[in-house]
Amino acid sequence: MKFFPVMPVIFIAAYIFVAASIAINTPQYAMIGIGSIILFMLIYFFTRGMKKQIT
């Protein structure tokens, strides 16, 4: 890729700006978003734990 790492850095910075703006303007969206990530991560670890116990 030409201009590496400028291209990905611009893109990442832009989407961090968008995510931060949403978090500032509508904090409930960010809270529910992060909450659901944590919930699904817990589901992942829980199901992995269950599988290990079975095997």
Query: Which chain residues interact with another protein by CB under 8 A?
Result: 1-2, 5, 7-8, 10-12, 14-19, 21-23, 26, 29-30, 32-33, 36-41, 43-45, 47, 51
Would you state the torsion angle of the CA atoms of residues 34, 40, 44, 49, taken in this order, to the nearest 10 degrees?
Answer: 90
Closest CA to 26 of 18, 14, 16, 37: 18
| CA–CA gap between residue 4 and residue 19 (Å, rounded) | 23
- Least Å distance, CB 14 to another protein, is 4
- Least Å distance, CB 50 to another protein, is 12
- Least Å distance, CB 7 to another protein, is 4
